[in-house]
Amino acid sequence: MIRRIYAVWAEEGSPVPSRLLDPEIEWVDPPDAVEAGIDIDEMLDAGDRVVVLATLRGSERRQGYVWTLRDGKVIRFERFNSPDDAMRAAGVRC
């Protein structure tokens, strides 16, 4: 499901119309979040969560994202400034 969301995001600019996200999704960004293109490096299964490790294009800065799913829909997206922070938040060993 998370791969489908990223594919829709890349093609259409937003995954919101895809109905893959819960209408009440919670978007959580760090205070110094930067919007930029993203290259997906890895996806890790963490039960009802998926950890995405990625590199921001242009700055080559790696980040981590935690997607929380319930009943086949994404209910929460958290962005972290480092892959380790994302893995810790989801309970995945670094």
pLDDT at 46: 93
What is the spatial distance between Cα 83 and Cα 65, in angstroms, rounded to a whole number?
A: 8
Give me the domains of the chain, ranges plus CATH numbers: 22-89 (3.10.450.50)
Model pLDDT for residues 24-72, shown as the tens digit of each residue: 998 887 777 766 678 889 999 999 999 999 887 777 778 899 999 999 8
Grouping H, G, I as helix, E, B as strand and the rest as coil, residue 7 is: helix
**Model confidence pTM above 0.85:** no
